[in-house]
Every structure is written in structure tokens, then in C-alpha cells.
Amino acid sequence: MVSLLPTPHPKERRIIFGNISKPGYSPDIETYLAHGGYESLKKALGMKPNEIIDMVKAANLRGRGGAGFPAGAKWSFIKYDDGKPHYIVVNADESEPGTFKDRYILHQDPHQLIEGLAIAAFATNVHLSYIYIRCEFPKAAKIVWEAIKEAKAKGFLGKNILGTGFDLDIYVHQGAGAYICGEETSLLESLEGKRPYPRIKPPYFPAVLGLYMKPTIVNNVETICHVKHILAMGPEEYAKMGTPGDGGTRTMCVSGDVQRPGFYEIPCGGVTLGELINDVCGGLKPGRTLKAVIPGGSSAKVLRAGETFKMKVKGPDGQMVEKEVPLLDLVMDASTLQAAGTMVGSGGVMIMDDTRDMVWALNNLNQFYAHESCGQCTPCREGSLWMSKVTTRIIDEGARPDDAKNLKNIADNIAGRTVCAFGEACSWPTQSFLAKFPDEFEKRVK
């Protein structure tokens, strides 16, 4: 089990993880109430729904599941009184390699999620909500079910919540073991009892034709949890913690070759990559040098040690100036990482040092994606397995002269041509590993 530092690192600011791994804190409702639980919900129920959405917008909360879509904007796609049933589905199908934050929330602080969900539901006129938990988290499902029961017994869920006339029921749905169910439209298919094939967009945008073809919001566990804190501290103060356009804190899951792998809750843009590795995570292992970083879950494009990136940054006079930014000076927020050609994604930061073989690492990812491709559309179905077979063969038998060229072309033929973002997820590692570490592939040629 990856645990938090006993006391927060100075760079950390624990909001979501405020009670995680805290001695004496248990997931039951009495503990939660003793720590000020459900106060935000009470506050929200006294507000107008659109005021809550405005607060979430003003807080600059971006989705924490990977795509980073502004949460307030997503909620405002739902027309409050269009006469249709609306749903919120919580995506607790946390399965992006390198990401392991949501399970701790589910295990240790489930009421935080339920409270955030109740607020979100009240704001968007939702009376039925689902928490979709991946198959591999059976314990989490049990804990969340228990928490729902407790909340219902205390009047925070069910009919006429806290006497306000607002009704909400929450159900837990357990997945059957497929990474693709983290893709929101395939999650909805799975929830409807079907084979989890992602839907084509257009026309099946969840906000229009979501669960049971009704307007639906799909949010990540962490995103929903943040809502509670936005209500509690007010959007201005919440937004201030982060950068403009990327408010609040973000949990970073750091894995790989650092002294202290684990998760850290850090204000958005609050650290550079160098600070995260060397300061927060205690640096690399003795005698090792940095080789590569995947900054936002396995799908994010890899960055190479020593790289520099041309990007516009704020100069000392406040004007934007173009500058060469070295890898370790990259600020870990959505816009900087995007400008560096990768993404903050789900916050899974993977650190690789000089002992790592990049072909082996790519093959590891390729095998994962080949195993998890749902198989619905041609390029991903056939291409992911093909890439995996090529990298496996390179490791087992050595490379052919045209392998690198072909691998890149296979990836190019997948990205941007598939039903869902899995196409990009499975091709970006190949594209970026080949672009950043061509030497490692060349030296494998027989």
C-alpha cells in the first residue's frame, strides 16, 4: 500500500486527501460528521442550482479523470428543467496505469464523494446517480454501499433530503474488468448492461444522449470530491490555489524510480517536475540519472531527460515571452504540459531512470493496450495488437531495419481515426517513445 507522508510536504496542500491515512479516521459517517461532513451539502441546498454551477465555473475546476474538461462547463450543458430525467455517473473505473488516487478516496473517505455527488445532483436536477466502480475494487464497492446506506439513514440521501424536498438515490455499479469502461460512453453502455463499446460522438455526447439516452454528466471521483471543497472555501479561494484555468489542487500519483513514490496533493501548477521528483519525492535512487518521464498516466506522451521545450511563459514584467524551458522546470499544470506536447491527464507521473530499457517499457505499455482494446473499431483493434507483437519481437529476436518506421506508421494510422480516445492512448506511447528515444530502437537492429 502506498501511504502518504505522515505530515504533508511543504509543497502539498491536502484538501481531497485531508483525511486520508489520518490516524483515527475511519470511513463511517460519524467520523465524517465529526470532521465537518455534509456542511457543504447543507449550504448547497440553501442555494439556487445555477449559483452552484457558477461557483464551480469560477473555481476553474477541471476534470481529474484524464481529459481535463472544465467541470462547470460540463454541468451547464444540462438544461435544468428540460423535463427529461438527468443522471450523474461517477467514473470510479480508475484503471489508467500509473494512477491510484481514487481508490484511496473510496476506501477511506467515501462520504466526501457522496457529499460532492449530492451537491452536483442538486445543481443539475439529478435524482438518480450511479457510481461505477471497477471490478478490481470490490472492497471499495462494499465501503461505498455502506456509506450510501449511512447517508440515507441520516437523511443526506433518499427522499426529501434534509427537509428540502430534494430527492436523490445513489447506486453502486461494479464493472466486469475492462479498462475501456473508463471511457465515459462505454461506461454508460456497461451500466446499461451492454458490451462496453464506446459510442460514436456525434451524436452520442453524454450531455445530450447519455445514460438511457438522457442527458448525463460523467465525472471522475476526485472531480466530484472537489465540489464539496469549492462550496466550503468559496470559489475564489479555491481557484487561487491553482493557476488561471486550472484551479484547486490535484492529486499526483508518482511511481517508478524515485525515493518516495506515492500520491501527493499539490496545488495545480504548484510544483515543477524537478521539484516533484527531487523535492517532494526525495529524488532519484542513489547513483541513478533521470531518463524519462510520463507525466499524466500511461497514455500521456513520454518526455526525455535533458529535453527543452519552446513555450510562452510569463516574464518578470508580466508579459508573455517565448522561452526554452528545460524538462525539470516544466510546471505540472494542464496548459504547460500541453505546451510541452503531452498532458497532465489523470495525474499519474511515471519516472524512469537510466536502468530502464525504453523498448521494454514501450512493449509493456503496448501489451497493456493490446489486451485492453475493446475491439470495436478496426484501427485500434488490429493496430494495438500489431504494435505489441512488433515490440515483443524486437525484444525477443532483435529489430528489423524497418520496424521503427513501420511502428510509427501503424501508430499514425490509429491516432485520430478511432471511435474513442483509446486510439490516441494506445498510439501516443509508440509515437513518443520512437520520437524521443530513436537510439534505443536503432541499437536493437540486428
Partner 1 sequence: MSETATPVAMVNVQVDGEWKQFPKGTRLIEACMKSGKFIPHYCYHPKLSTPGNCRMCLVETGRPKMTPDRQPVLGADGRPEIAWGPKPEISCAAEVAEGMGVRTSSPLVEECRKGVMEFLLINHPLDCPICDQAGECRLQEFSVEFGKGESRFREEKVKKPKRVDIGERIVLDDERCIMCSRCIRFMQEVAHDDVLGFLNRGSHTTLSVYPGKRLDNNYSLNTVDICPVGALTSKDFRFKMRVWFLKETQTIDVSCGTGCNIVIGSRENIVYRITPRENEEVNSCWMPDSHRMNFHYLHSDERLVSPLVKGEEAPSKWTRALAGAAEKLQGRDPAKTALIASARMTNEELFLARRLASALKIENFDVLLRPQKGDGFLISDDGNPNTGGAKLLGLATGKLSEIARRVESGEITALIVLGEDAVDCGISEGALKKLEALVFAGILANKTSPHASVVLPTSAWAEKRGTMINIKGRIQRLNQAIQPPGQARDDWEVLRDLVQAVGGSNGVYSIEEVFKVMASETPALQGLTISRVGDLGLQLSLPA
Positions in the binding site for partner 1 (CB under 8 A): 178, 180, 195, 197, 200, 202-203, 370-379, 381-386, 389-390, 393, 400, 402, 406, 412-413, 416-419
Cell numbers standing for residue 313: 511563459
Q: At closest approach, how far in Å is the CB of 438 from partner 1?
A: 19
Query: Residue 96 or residue 246: which is nearer to partner 1 going by CB?
Result: 96
Query: Residue 37 or residue 423: which is nearer to partner 1 going by CB?
Result: 423
Q: At closest approach, how far in Å is the CB of 44 from partner 1?
A: 35
Query: Residue 279 or residue 412: which is nearer to partner 1 going by CB?
Result: 412
Give the count of alpha carbons within 13 A of 177, CB side only.
3
Query: Residue 124 or residue 186: which is nearer to partner 1 going by CB?
Result: 186
Q: At closest approach, how far in Å is the CB of 443 from partner 1?
A: 20
Instruction: Please return the burial class of 310, using the count of CB atoms within 10 Å of its CB with bins 0-12, 13-18 and 19+.
Output: exposed
Query: Residue 248 or residue 379: which is nearer to partner 1 going by CB?
Result: 379
Q: At closest approach, how far in Å is the CB of 189 from partner 1?
A: 12
Q: At closest approach, how far in Å is the CB of 345 from partner 1?
A: 20
Query: Given phi > 0 = left and psi -120 to 50 = alpha, else beta, which region is 98?
Result: left
Q: At closest approach, how far in Å is the CB of 373 from partner 1?
A: 4
Q: Would you tell me how many other CB atoms lie within 10 Å of the CB of residue 304?
A: 17
Q: Under a CB-based contact definition with an 8 Å cutoff, are residues 230 and 55 in contact? A: yes
Rg for the chain, CA atoms, rounded: 22
Which positions ≥6 away from 213 have C-beta within 8 Å?
none
Q: At closest approach, how far in Å is the CB of 406 from partner 1?
A: 5
Query: Residue 259 or residue 406: which is nearer to partner 1 going by CB?
Result: 406
| Residue 172 bridge partners (DSSP) | 131
Q: At closest approach, how far in Å is the CB of 402 from partner 1?
A: 7
Query: Residue 384 or residue 430: which is nearer to partner 1 going by CB?
Result: 384
Query: Residue 214 or residue 417: which is nearer to partner 1 going by CB?
Result: 417
Query: Residue 127 or residue 417: which is nearer to partner 1 going by CB?
Result: 417
Q: At closest approach, how far in Å is the CB of 112 from partner 1?
A: 34
Q: At closest approach, how far in Å is the CB of 388 from partner 1?
A: 9
Q: At closest approach, how far in Å is the CB of 417 from partner 1?
A: 6
Taking each helix axis from N to C end, the angle separating 358-372 and 422-436, rounded to the nearest 10 degrees, works out to 170
Q: Under a CB-based contact definition with an 8 Å cutoff, are residues 434 and 444 in contact? A: no
Query: Residue 88 or residue 380: which is nearer to partner 1 going by CB?
Result: 380
Query: Residue 102 or residue 424: which is nearer to partner 1 going by CB?
Result: 424
Query: Residue 195 or residue 443: which is nearer to partner 1 going by CB?
Result: 195
Q: At closest approach, how far in Å is the CB of 339 from partner 1?
A: 17
| Residue 309 bridge partners (DSSP) | 325
